[in-house]
Amino acid sequence: MEVRVRYAPSPTGLQHIGGVRTALFNYFFARSKGGKFILRVEDTDRERFSEESLKDLYETLEWLGIDWDEGPIKGGAYGPYVQSERSALYREYADKLIAAGKAYHCFCTSERLTELREVQKIEKKNYGYDRHCRNLSTEDVEKKKSEGFSSVIRLKVPLEGETFFDDLLLGRVTRKNRDISPDPVLLKSDGFPTYHLANVVDDHLMKITHILRAQEWIPSGAIHVLLYKAFGWEPPLYCHLPMVMGKDGQKLSKRHGSTSVIDFRKRGYLPEALINYVTMVGWSYDDSREFFTKEELEKLFSLEKINKAPGVFDYKKLEWFNGQYIRRKSEAELVDEVIPYLKKDGIVSENITEREMLIIKNMMTLMAERLHFMSDISELSRFLFHDIGEYTLKDIIPKKMDYEGTIRVLESARELVEGFESRSDEENEELFRKKSEEVKVKLGSMLMPLRVAISGSKVSPPIFGSLRLLGSEKALKRIDHVIELLKEELKKEEENGKQ
């Protein structure tokens, strides 16, 4: 039998790490089995639905390169794949349940329900609906309806017995029926179905064979099995995935840091790094291998290697993965990646000039190993494109040196910056070494003031490469400017000394 799985997000917020992890597992499972991956939009919560979330869903999946075989936009034999377009269907199936005595109308107001819950909480009694309307007669229902009271449809959960499902990962999960949420709502008063009804009806109609979803759904599993039984259908196979947690062990959420994929994207994470890392929380291949391309995972993924225990999302490790993937890219690829960030941060012009392009192309070899995120590029390369705003004089002066010494060192270095480009890096290094010996300072003590003068910072890409990219003409101007500043400072100091 062909494997058919689905990712069924609800467009009520931005796609987050947890959701994407579920999508990935489903996608990889389908691909590894030569089956179908279906996307279904569960937009039955009209209050929280947002167009932006829906857009984000599509963009995120596209960015990650997860394409669905059936689903919205694309279509398929079991559509529509957007639940709000299937409303009539759910009503029809809910009515069937009522006719069969497996569900009932409930007229309780949300005020009553809220009050009920509060009382239960205070009395520390078992929470849940008190089945107030469970035994309303047909006449009662008709009367209420004719009086204009709105109703919901609830599932009649059996009072006795137990319900179980055999989870592919967890084994048999059994619940006594009396422990199941008492009579969950299937059809809301606005006519839209709840998740329970919609997912069961759709999964059955769409011939879904396996349900891979997060473990937070385990408690609902029994409800769903009860629904399948009520309809006389065979439930699909379940596999409840371990949850993704924050550092404190709680369900990953915004307070742990960025959780929406779009945030990672903006920050300059590469999709391949995110895919690789996210898949590794909860799944492993063997005792050593941890780098996988999407294509490899499409072949290698297997349910057997999924871990049962929840996993903590480690931002540090993702960062490391990202650096690794950045360094695996070719210079040409990096150039393409980096340009949007440079434009966005105003480092280069919107219509990149020839000169800018030349620098970008030549700088990547210096930049690549210094990037953890693509967005790091702007701060790192700013000095190549723009003048330096302010110098921190303190940074220019090496340890154990004063203004005079630094000026002397810079003036010596300046001599070598002239004609710098016509010599090789090796030649230049040799010259700088000799020169520093002459001036009787360590090479580092000569290069640091030069570095600050040229880049404006104590931290920069290698100085020779930077000089070459910047051009000696500009470099000389910056050096002269710094020497000037130092001289002014020296003068002030002398005047203060005289007083």
Task: Give the residue numbers marked as catalytic.
Answer: 254
CA distance 111 to 114: 5
CB of 36 to RNA, least distance (A): 20
Q: Which is nearer to RNA, 318 or 347 (CB)?
A: 318
Considering only residues 339 to 368 of the shown chain, the ones binding RNA according to CB under 7 A are none
12 binds RNA (CB under 7 A): yes
Binds RNA (CB under 7 A): choice among 37, 129, 269, 325? 129
Give the CA radius of gyration of the chain. Answer: 33
Site for RNA in 461-490 (CB under 7 A): 461-465
Cα separation, 464 vs 380, in Å, equals 15
Q: What is the 3-state secondary structure (H, E, C) of 12-33?
A: CCCCEHHHHHHHHHHHHHHHHC
Answer yes or no whether residue 155 interacts with RNA by CB under 7 A: no
Q: How far is the CB of 484 from RNA (least distance, A)?
A: 23
Residue 390 CB, shortest distance to RNA, in Å, is: 19
Is the Cβ–Cβ distance between 380 and 465 less than 8 Å?
A: no
* Residue 153, H or E segment: strand 152-155
Cβ closest to RNA, residue 31 vs residue 455: 455
| Near RNA in 289-318, by CB under 7 A | 290, 305, 307-312, 314, 316-317
Q: In the complex, what is the shortest distance from the CB of residue 341 to RNA, in angstroms, rounded to a whole number? A: 17
Q: Which of residues 69-98 bind RNA (CB under 7 A)?
A: none
Q: Which of residues 250-279 bind RNA (CB under 7 A)?
A: 250-251
Residues whose CB falls within 8 Å of the CB of residue 401, separated by 6 or more in sequence, listed in order: 409, 441, 445
Residues 6+ apart with CB under 8 A from 143: none
Total of residues contacting RNA (CB under 7 A): 94
Nearer to RNA (CB atom), residue 79 or residue 465: 465
Residue with tokens 């929470």: 127
The residue range among 262-270, 343-351, 444-452, 472-480 that interacts with RNA, by the rule CB under 7 A, is: 444-452
- What is the nearest approach in angstroms of RNA to the Cβ of residue 351? 30
Q: Is 431 in the site for RNA (CB under 7 A)?
A: no
Are 180 and 163 in contact, with CB atoms under 8 Å apart?
A: yes
Contacts 24+ apart (CB under 8 A), 160-163: 163/222, 163/225, 163/226
Residue 375 binds to RNA (criterion: CB under 7 A): no
Q: Using CB under 7 A, which of the segments 26-34, 104-112, 263-271, 469-477 binds RNA?
A: 104-112
Of the pair 128, 405, the CB lying nearest RNA is at 128
Span from 348-356, 410-418, 454-462, 470-478 in contact with RNA (CB under 7 A) = 454-462
78 or 320: CB nearest RNA: 320
What is the x/- site pattern for RNA, positions 389-428, by CB under 7 A? ------------------------------------x---
For RNA, give the closer residue by CB, 108 or 490.
108
Torsion angle defined by CA atoms of residues 462, 464, 465 and 467, in that order, rounded to the nearest 10 degrees: 110
Residue 49 tokens, joined: 């639905």
Indicate the helix (H) or strand (E) that contains 409. Answer: helix 403-417
Q: For the segment 275-294, give every residue that binds RNA (CB under 7 A).
A: 280-284, 286-288, 290
Nearer CB in complex with RNA: 78/217: 217
Q: What is the CA 357 to chain-centroid distance, rounded?
A: 31
Select from 261-269, 411-419, 440-448, 477-485 the region that touches RNA (CB under 7 A): 440-448
| Token pair in block for residue 341 | 């960030």
CB 81 within 8 A of CB 71: yes
Beta strands 171-176; 311-312: pairing state: unpaired
**Out of 38, 141, 206, 245, which residue is the one contacting RNA (CB under 7 A)?**
245
459 scored as a contact of RNA (CB under 7 A):
yes
Per-position DSSP letters for 102-152, written without gaps between them: SEEEE---HHHHHHHHHHHHHTTPPPS---TTTT--HHHHHHHHHTT---E
Closest CA to 318 of 278, 282, 374: 278
Pairing of strands 237-241, 210-214: parallel
Residue 80 or 311 with smaller CB distance to RNA:
311
Interacting residue with RNA among 84, 87, 189, 258 (CB under 7 A): 189
Check residue 170 for interaction with RNA (CB under 7 A).
yes
DSSP-based three-state secondary structure for 311: strand
Angle at alpha carbon of residue 474, lines to 471 and 475, rounded to 5°: 80
Which of 118, 127, 140, 344 is close enough to bind RNA by CB under 7 A? Answer: 127
Q: With CB under 7 A as the contact rule, which of the stretches 86-94, 123-131, 227-235, 351-359 interacts with RNA?
A: 123-131
Task: Name the β-bridge partners of 70.
Answer: 38
Task: Please identify, using beta-carbon distances, which residue of 126 and 138 lies nearer to RNA.
Answer: 126
Provide the b/e sequence for 468-491 (b: ≥16 CB within 10 Å).
bbbebeebbebbeebbebbeebee
Q: Name the residue among 484, 19, 20 with its Cα closest to residue 275.
A: 20
Out of 69, 179, 331, 489, point to the residue binding RNA (CB under 7 A). 179
How far apart (Å, rounded) are the C-alpha atoms in residues 121 and 115? Answer: 10
Q: Which of 55, 117, 434, 487 binds RNA (CB under 7 A)?
A: 117
